[in-house]
Amino acid sequence: MVEENKNAAIEAEFDWDAFENEDAGFAANRADLEAQYDKTLSTVAEKEVIDGIVISMNKREVVINIGYKSDGIVSLNEFRYNQELTVGDSVEVYVESQEDKKGQLVLSHKKARALRSWDRVNSALENDEIIKGYIKCRTKGGMIVDVFGIEAFLPGSQIDVKPIRDYDIYVGKTMEFKVVKINHEFKNVVVSHKALIEAELEQQKKEIIAKLEKGQVLEGTVKNITSYGVFIDLGGVDGLIHITDLSWGRVSHPSEIVELDQKLNVVILDFDDDKKRIALGLKQLTPHPWDALDAEMKVGDRVNGKVVVMADYGAFVEIAPGVEGLIHVSEMSWSQHLRSAQDFMKVGDEVQAQIITLDREERKMSLGLKQLKQDPWEGVEAKYAVNSKHAAKVRNFTNFGVFVEIEEGVDGLIHISDLSWTKKVKHPAEFTQIGAEIEVVVLEIDKDNRRLSLGHKQLEENPWDVFETIFATDSTHEGTIVEIFEKGAVVALPYGVEGFATPRHLVKEDGSQAKVEEKLSFKVIEFSKAAKRIILSHSRTFEDVKRAEVSEKKKTESASMKKGVKKMKDSLEKTTLGDISELAALKSQLEKGEK
């Protein structure tokens, strides 16, 4: 109630007439006041680029004063290329509208930059000017950069002097660039960040190169890793550590030793006259493993190692980092058969071997595996005595015999003539096969050449002692022709023995020639026990019969003739004597008459 009374009193004391007169006077001067106020403001035309001052900022907007009766508001996203924007900075804006529906001044910084962009880009290229740009996104081969509102291309090779492995880390960053190329026809702009730091690096490079010396140790950063080596950044100068200079030991790939961006000390091994190619070393910073090798190690010692490299001729075994020995394939087994080292071991195998040779000056070592086993030829005379029988395995063939292995390292030869008593073997493949088991008898021991003379047929008695009585000369046997060739035919006889007949002894009684698989009678015309040879003839079986018949006939005729001759002689003798008697009587009578 008290408050209401106070208001009523004030209202009663208020001079409404005076107030109305005063308001009327103010309205009369309003036009003059507005005209004077307008003179203090800038004349702003729409669709025009002008400069303004940043008067305030928040996380979303930037308030800009362009000297107009109201301030403009621009989204902070339009200034993302300029992370250092602060209150008081002068910026260019494009007046889109003096008033929107709310009476607000509408400005755009992005459009202002776009309208002036080509002039600025060309000016930056001509004056070698450093400009700022915002990396918007990644694209094929590089990045897209917002420069003065224009989308420029930043090649991947122009981001930095060192190779870039992760392009995504640059997206959303504001960086300094140089314009390196403009294509006016296609409105393309190419920028480079690398160009900004190359000049500085070039100066550093000259200073480093001038101080390079062989044997100098420098710190570097792993810049790139290849299959053949590692590129090291020495501070603007690149050097190469060849894979062989990374470690004293075997290295399959440089990534086993180093990793990208790793900092390490390297030693300068060599460089060319222009110092453009620099050879670096890493292993040279550590002592050579051979120098640290146990001084007590000697020939005959046993060592353990790991197979690091395989070849057909042998295996390299690492017995300590950087210390390797060669196990030649001939030292892997007592066997003399040609084999590949891969038949005995593979990369990664842990092996034990014996030192055969050791040359510390040449840093070479040869090892052996077979030396860990007893030499099978020691005491061979007792184990494989002459006439002893053994099982062997066929290893190889030659035209003259079969090579067999009784045990690893103990080989022997079965001569082709010692395979069979009866069968004529032209090639061992007709008798056995590689890999087959065969029974043998030791015939002779050649210890110097580590070779046994073996026989197979000696397992049985010599059947030719019996054949000598069965296939005697002029005996006849039934045989089958198994093979015919130019010089004659092979004939299969009883008891598994074979004979030979020449072509003229293969003529049948009717004059035709005998054929393969034909079964005929054959006469033995020659038998040689020493040569194990039987010569046969089919023709003689009927020719001898005819010859015998002719001979018998001749004998009969001869006997008859002899009897006739004798009779004739007897007759002639009688006739002659009678005649003589009569003549004598006649002579006697005549003589008497004369008297």
Give the pLDDT of residue 29. 62
Give the torsion sign (CA, 231, 234, 237, 239): negative
CATH level 3 topology of 48-127:
OB fold (Dihydrolipoamide Acetyltransferase, E2P) (2.40.50)
Kindly report the CATH class assigned to 128-199: mainly beta
Range scoring the smallest mean pLDDT among 49-53, 259-263, 556-560: 556-560
Domain 301-372 sits in CATH at 2.40.50.140
Tell me the pLDDT tens digit for each residue of 303-359.
998 998 888 888 899 888 888 889 898 888 877 766 788 888 888 889 999 999 988
User: How confident is the model over 170-182, as a mean pLDDT?
Assistant: 86
Q: What is the pTM of this model?
A: 0.43
Q: 106-112: long-range contacts (C-beta < 8 A, 24 or more apart)?
A: 106/72, 107/52, 107/64, 107/66, 107/72, 107/73, 107/74, 108/74, 108/78, 109/62, 109/64, 109/74, 109/78, 109/79, 110/78, 110/149, 111/149, 112/49
Work out the angle at residue 253's Cα, subtended by the Cα atoms of residues 250 and 256, and round it to the nearest 5 degrees: 85
Tell me the pLDDT tens digit for each residue of 500-536.
999 888 888 888 888 888 888 898 988 887 778 889 9
Give the pLDDT of residue 549. 73
Kindly report the CATH class assigned to 376-455: mainly beta
| Common-topology check for domains 128-199 and 301-372 | yes
Give the start-end residues of each E strand in 312-348. Answer: 314-320, 323-328
Give the DSSP per-residue string, 353-412. EEEEEEETTTTEEEEESGGGS--TTTTHHHHT-TT-EEEEEEEEEETTEEEEEEETTEEE
Kindly report the CATH class assigned to 212-281: mainly beta
Q: Tell me if the domain spanning 463-543 has CATH number 2.40.50.140.
A: yes
Give the pLDDT of residue 561. 67
Tell me the pLDDT tens digit for each residue of 69-120.
778 888 888 887 777 888 888 887 878 776 766 767 888 777 877 777 787 8
The whole-chain average pLDDT of the chain stands at: 79
Q: 79-84: long-range contacts (C-beta < 8 A, 24 or more apart)?
A: 79/109, 80/134, 80/146, 80/174, 81/132, 81/133, 81/134, 81/146, 81/147, 81/174, 82/132, 82/174, 83/174
Give the pLDDT of residue 348. 86
Range scoring the smallest mean pLDDT among 224-228, 234-238, 345-349: 234-238
Which sequence spans correspond to the domains of the chain?
48-127, 128-199, 212-281, 301-372, 376-455, 463-543
